[in-house]
A and B are shown apart, each in its own frame.
Chain A
Amino acid sequence: MNRIGIVVALIAFLVGLSVATFAELRVFLPAILRGAVVTVHVATLSIALFLLLSVVAGIGRAYGAAPVRWLSVLYIEVFRGTSLLVILFWMFFVMPEFGLFLSPVAAGVLGIGLNFGAYGAEVVRGALAAVPRGQTEATIALNMSAFRRMTRIVLPQAVAIMIPGLVNLTIELVKATALVSAVTLSDITYAAVQQNQLHFRTVEIFSITLMLYYCLAQFVRFGGAALEDRFSRHRARRA
């Protein structure tokens, strides 16, 4: 039984592939690529918000005065502990009940940015804690201001430590944008589902979808690797 199932699936797959000619690709590919533009748009804005919130809440939790620290902890725990999909529903369907009407893009960006910012804040906090105490002591002995200490000494070293963790989350974020299709945005995933309903080219359509997300993730990966090189120069280079 099982063997027959596998053979049938394999044949179906090969037939599907051979039937998908270039002519037919042209039918559904433009729609999916238009979806990719929406995905990149939402992802870019979400990444900006996510990084901003990560740094602000991370520093707030690590170094803030009591009220700032409490706010940071509250934010991190609320958004880390709730489902992204449910937050997106809140942004788009529940907030209007309280008089706040957000466009689908705004709802998506806000929901994703807030959710991932909470994770990112913990990565940033960990990186800050990993910068040796002696670095801070040296800045005190050199009479530097707290602001300079942060921007010139502690953060640059912490950035090198936090990059792998943040790159991980950024890749995760790009793929999580698939959820914005739930708040009526025509992103890659939404377009794929729609095109599949029109053309029934399940294998081709979702193979292309898979590859598109993979390609986007590679952009993030290479960008992250370049940044990591840039910030770890002093460790890599040897005389």
Chain B
Amino acid sequence: MIRFDKVLKAYGALEVLKDLDFSVEKGEVVSIIGPSGSGKTTVLRVLMTLEDIQGGTIYVDGEPLNRMDVNGQLVEASKAHVRRIRAKLGMVFQSFNLFPHMTALQNCIESPIYTQGLSKAEAVEEATRLLDMVGLADKAGHYPSQLSGGQQQRVAIARTLAMHPEVLLFDEPTSALDPEMVGEVLSVIRDLAKSGRYTILLVTHQMGFAREVSDRVCFFDAGKMVEEGVPGDLFGNPRNERLRQFLSKVLEAS
């Protein structure tokens, strides 16, 4: 579903992703863990086209994201091409990024109406269903400023789902939340992971949660994927020295 082929991301001389090879199968739930500055969030950001890359190719569903195939040659992708591929992806941000001037419902129907051409009635029906699914049916008319952090993040998840993506990218979805609100957001993500309908990439510091929901966990360090494996192996029997240090520090803190 997703394949990184020698992807290079650099800010000037600073290489954040170094010739990264990385892939995710359709329907797979993959967690990415690692210390800050390891490039784990950057993986999601370049995939969502929030940042450009300096080398390599990213494939989504077999098609290159940043290039396109014209008569057998890969050329710079057109806007239309990028938007067509991007429609398969959805992203949930650490800081929610809800539109503050719109209610929860308006947040969820904005892009379906203008980007996918749904009628307002269709969009409202779908958004209402999704808000209900994340447990916020009664908050549809509220502005983000009237919602708690956990509620805002659940609206953001509903907003992302309303675009019917195949791949969900979660960028530290609970890092900006007060501890008592982490559970309600994780429970929504857990349901999505268990539904088997989405390919999920989750960047997180919640080790217990990553262990519980993931098919595979990847450990990133200094712009490279250093170790990957099924959760039991990676957490229970880490081979890499950096991973062992990282896990012991994280466990110490919790």
Q: Which residues of A contact B (CB under 8 A)?
A: 132, 134-135, 137-145, 148, 152-153, 156-157, 160, 231, 233-235, 237-239
CA distance A238 to B146 in the complex (A): 6
Shortest CB-to-CB span from A128 to chain B, Å, is 15
| Interface 1/0 per residue, B58-74 and A, CB below 8 Å | 00000000000000000
8 Å CB contacts to A: which residues of B105-160?
110-111, 114-115, 142-146, 159-160
Q: B86 contacts which chain A residues (CB < 8 A)? A: 140, 143
* Cβ-based interface call for B37 (8 A): no
CA distance A137 to B50 in the complex (A): 6
**Apart from A140-B49, A153-B110: 20 A-B pairs, beta carbons within 8 A:** A134-B93, A135-B97, A137-B48, A137-B50, A139-B111, A140-B48, A141-B91, A141-B160, A142-B160, A142-B163, A143-B83, A143-B86, A143-B87, A143-B115, A144-B114, A157-B99, A157-B100, A233-B143, A234-B101, A239-B142
CA distance A153 to B90 in the complex (A): 18
Q: A139 contacts which chain B residues (CB < 8 A)? A: 111
Shortest CB-to-CB span from A135 to chain B, Å, is 6
Shortest CB-to-CB span from B112 to chain A, Å, is 9
Q: B98 contacts which chain A residues (CB < 8 A)? A: 138
* Max chain B Cβ within 10 angstroms of own Cβ: one of A134, A137, A143: A143
Known: A142-B110, A239-B146. A234 touches B163 (CB 8 A): no
CB atoms of B115 and A141 under 8 A apart: no
Q: How many residues of B contact A (CB 8 A)?
A: 29
CA distance A233 to B111 in the complex (A): 22
* Cβ-based interface call for B38 (8 A): no
CA distance A83 to B84 in the complex (A): 51
* Cβ-based interface call for B42 (8 A): no
Q: A144 contacts which chain B residues (CB < 8 A)? A: 110-111, 114-115
CB atoms of A142 and B111 under 8 A apart: yes
* Max chain B Cβ within 10 angstroms of own Cβ: one of A135, A139, A156, A234: A234
Shortest CB-to-CB span from B123 to chain A, Å, is 13
Shortest CB-to-CB span from B99 to chain A, Å, is 6
Shortest CB-to-CB span from B13 to chain A, Å, is 23
Known: A140-B48, A234-B143, A234-B145. A148 touches B100 (CB 8 A): no
* Cβ-based interface call for B95 (8 A): yes
Q: A143 contacts which chain B residues (CB < 8 A)? A: 83, 86-87, 111, 115, 163
User: Within the complex, which residue of B99, B101, B114, B143 is in contact with A138, where a contact is CB–CB below 8 Å?
Assistant: B99
CB atoms of B115 and A148 under 8 A apart: yes
CB atoms of B95 and A134 under 8 A apart: yes
CA distance A145 to B49 in the complex (A): 14
The A interface, classified by DSSP as helix, strand, loop or mixed, is helix
CB atoms of B110 and A152 under 8 A apart: yes
CA distance A233 to B143 in the complex (A): 9
CB atoms of B101 and A141 under 8 A apart: no
CA distance A160 to B143 in the complex (A): 16
Closest 9 CB pairs of A and B: A138-B97, A142-B111, A134-B97, A141-B91, A234-B143, A239-B146, A234-B101, A148-B114, A143-B86
CA distance A143 to B111 in the complex (A): 8
Identify the closest chain B residue to A132 (Cβ): B97
Q: B114 contacts which chain A residues (CB < 8 A)? A: 144-145, 148, 152
Q: A152 contacts which chain B residues (CB < 8 A)? A: 110, 114
CB atoms of B48 and A141 under 8 A apart: yes
Identify the closest chain A residue to B162 (Cβ): A142
CB atoms of A140 and B50 under 8 A apart: yes
CA distance A139 to B48 in the complex (A): 11
Q: List 20 A-B contacts (CB under 8 A).
A: A135-B99, A137-B50, A137-B93, A137-B97, A138-B97, A138-B98, A139-B111, A140-B48, A141-B90, A142-B90, A142-B110, A143-B87, A144-B110, A144-B111, A231-B101, A234-B100, A234-B102, A235-B145, A237-B146, A239-B146
Identify the closest chain A residue to B84 (Cβ): A143
Identify the closest chain A residue to B92 (Cβ): A141
Q: A145 contacts which chain B residues (CB < 8 A)? A: 83, 114-115
CA distance A148 to B99 in the complex (A): 13
CA distance A145 to B113 in the complex (A): 12
Q: A160 contacts which chain B residues (CB < 8 A)? A: 101
Shortest CB-to-CB span from A93 to chain B, Å, is 47
Q: A148 contacts which chain B residues (CB < 8 A)? A: 114-115
